[in-house]
Amino acid sequence: MIELKDITNARQVIAGRVHRTPLMSSMSLGRRTNTHLHFKAEMFQKTGSFKPRGAINKLSHLTEEERKRGVITISSGNQAQGLAYAASLFGISATVVMPHTTPANKVNATRGYGAEVVLTEGALLPTCLEIQKERNLTMVHPFDDPHVVAGHGTIGLETLDDLPEVEAVFVPVGGGGLISGIATAIKLSKPAVKIVGVEPIGASAMWQSLQRKAVVNLDRMDTIAEALAAPFVGELNLTLVQKYVDELVLVSDDEMIEALGLLLEWCKILAEPGGAAGFAALLFKKANIPSGSEVVCVLSGGNIDPSRLGHFLLKRQR
């Protein structure tokens, strides 16, 4: 399990290596949601998402021998860039296995940070483990790892520092690394804060796992939010979500598009669909939040392909 000291230690590790992202308020969207609304803008993080926080903390705990072997991970895009960036800081070679359908901007950015990208039409994890074994690489799990979780938990600490009176936090959920870190940090510091996890309807691995009380592997996913399209969640992440998350809700692709559009229109903030999932849940009243509450929506990333953005905005106007 993760303790608060693990997250405070991670904060020291990543300091100076990542941005301390702003907590931004919106009166206009707050009025629309009947809340005092704030956004934790992780699209302004290094690589355009929260991922470097966990990756840097993880790599800092590797042995010298593990670093020399090089690292490997699986990713739909944001983890790839986060690990590639972190590996470049430590002088470690990085390999990333990604779906062949990954948007080109995420593939190109990953290569730009110096990582080798392996695109596959098959299952990511088996392909990754095969390459890991062949090359004797060090596996860096994208979410089911205590150091990764602790790194992501630093967002929770920063949120409490910037808004001590926060009453509810909405967090996008993919494999569970982000929400398990944030929830642990906040609940161990201020237990009364409500933590709401948000998944796409078409990629609800955490929601289904909570229903069955065991990790569920999805045979199929159907969502525009590739950043949240994890086919399974981690054992550690599921345990922490069960312990610290108050509610998990689902949002549709259209709801994420509407949230994305409003963020761009009113706040001039560009989030990818998965990054806007938390705000979508608040906007469409998926959770019961008392009027006037101090609410934070974590905008987890902004790495959206320009051509897809145009399509989403046109769809929203129809």
Quick: pLDDT tens for 121-177.
Answer: 988 899 999 999 999 999 999 999 999 999 999 999 999 999 999 999 999 999 999
- From the candidates 51, 58, 187, 286, give the one annotated as an active-site residue: 51
Q: Is the pLDDT of residue 307 over 80?
A: yes
Which residue in 309, 293, 91, 300 sits closest to 192, CA to CA?
A: 293
Q: What is the dihedral of CA 105, 39, 51, 256, to 10 degrees?
A: -50
For 306, the token pair is 């320009």
Q: Is 28 a catalytic residue?
A: no
Measured distance CA(131)–CA(139) in Å, rounded: 10
d(CA 225, CA 304): 10
pLDDT of residue 275: 98
For position 160, what pLDDT does the model report?
98
Whether residue 60 lies in the annotated active site: no
Question: Distance between CA 224 and CA 25 in Å, rounded?
Answer: 26
Give the whole-angstrom CA distance, residue 272 versus residue 263. 10
pLDDT at residue 10, as a whole number: 98
Cβ–Cβ contacts within 10 Å for residue 168, how many? 21
Q: Which CATH architecture has domain 52-139?
A: 3-Layer(aba) Sandwich (3.40)
Domains 4-49+145-317 and 52-139 share a fold: yes
Residue of 49, 60, 209, 300 with catalytic role: 300
What's the pLDDT score for residue 153? 98
Does residue 317 register a pLDDT over 80?
Answer: no
**% of the chain surpassing 70 pLDDT:** 100
Closest CA to 217 of 137, 126, 292: 126
Whole-model pTM: value is 0.97
Per-residue confidence (pLDDT) for residue 148, from 0 to 100? 98
Cβ–Cβ under 8 Å, residues 160 and 69: no
The residue ranges of every structural domain in the chain are 4-49+145-317, 52-139
Per the CB < 8 A criterion, the answer to whether 218 and 231 are in contact is yes
Domain boundaries 4-49+145-317, corresponding CATH code: 3.40.50.1100
| The pair of three-digit structure tokens given for residue 76, joined into one six-digit string | 């739909």
- DSSP letter at 77 equals S
d(CA 255, CA 261): 10
Report the C-alpha gap between 284 and 291 in whole angstroms. 14
**pLDDT, tens only, 95-120:** 999 999 888 889 999 999 999 999 99
pLDDT tens for 37-81 read: 999 999 999 999 999 999 999 999 999 999 999 999 999 889 999
For residue 17, pLDDT over 90 is answered with yes
